Amino acid sequence: MKLKFTKMHGAGNDFVVIDAINQDLALTPEQWRRLGDRRFGVGADQILVVQKPEGADCDFRYRIFNQDGGEVEQCGNGSRAFVKFVTEKGLTDKRSIRVETMAGVITPRLEDDGAITVEMSVPVLEPALVPFDSAGLAGVAEGRDTLWPLAPGGQAVLVSVVSMGNPHAVQVVADVERAPVPETGPLIESDPRFPKRVNAGFMQVLGRGHVKLRVFERGAGETLACGTGACAAVVAGIRRGLLDSPVRVSARGGELSVAWAGEGAPVFLSGPAVTVYEGEITL
């Protein structure tokens, strides 16, 4: 079958975006895998699928598939690419859209200056709901947060656990460039205390309004940027008393900005979205 797609990225976190409103998207698992493969197909960190909404109060439904084929709840960088895609494709004339995801409704907005801001969800902070199994662990209180001891590869670390619809484990490190992301990222991702696995964030605090961040993403490995990871890192940093909103998040692939007013409030994520090329693949 022939499939039209658009290749996009948000701060280097790259996507294959597919309009499943105007084309039939009945792919076998093998075709999904090939589409996401950087050698046998197009390749991307995530595949984003644009569909009609199920609810009356939303403009679109947005499905997200990691490179490993798993469907996931949320993608922050992808939500910016989403609003740019549907605007460029003429699928809407709105600048602010309500989008159904597995984790609820988010509202990406295309600003007049071309910037894109997304009202993400209210972070979920109860460990069991992240989900994270803290049974038998002695949490370490810091500010309003609780840090949980993990030992990936025997290396003792303390993580904050936050859900942005998808699960995150965030640790503060002295130097992200020297952090053992390739070694301990996959061990944290698959730690059995995270029954749905987890995205592992490594955050270096440069000031109360600026961090550097690397994320070993669930189902995709280390990406050049992670939007929900940036949200989770800033929420954790604010709760630990290390950061003040808004926070500039410097990822390897570019700059994001995150604002959060505190518990019970949604997180706002701003950053770039770029259309790289249009394509058609025979699967």
Ligand X SMILES: N[C@H](CCC[C@H](N)C(=O)O)C(=O)O
| 22 annotated ligand binder | no
| 279 annotated ligand binder | no
CB of 162 to ligand X, least distance (A): 12
| 76 annotated ligand binder | yes
Residues forming contacts to ligand X in the complex (CB under 6 A) are 13, 45-46, 66, 72, 75-78, 166, 199, 217-220, 223, 226-229
Annotated catalytic residue 75: yes
Nearer to ligand X, 199 or 250 (CB): 199
Nearer to ligand X, 70 or 209 (CB): 70
Nearer to ligand X, 142 or 255 (CB): 255
Residues 75, 187, 232, 238: which is the catalytic one? 75
| 166 annotated ligand binder | yes
CB of 167 to ligand X, least distance (A): 7
49, 25 Cβ separation under 8 angstroms = yes
Nearer to ligand X, 48 or 110 (CB): 48
CB of 282 to ligand X, least distance (A): 27
Residues 226, 235, 249, 267: which is the catalytic one? 226
CB of 42 to ligand X, least distance (A): 16
Residue set of the binding site for substrate: 13, 46, 66, 76-77, 166, 199, 217-218, 227-228
Catalytic residues: 75, 226
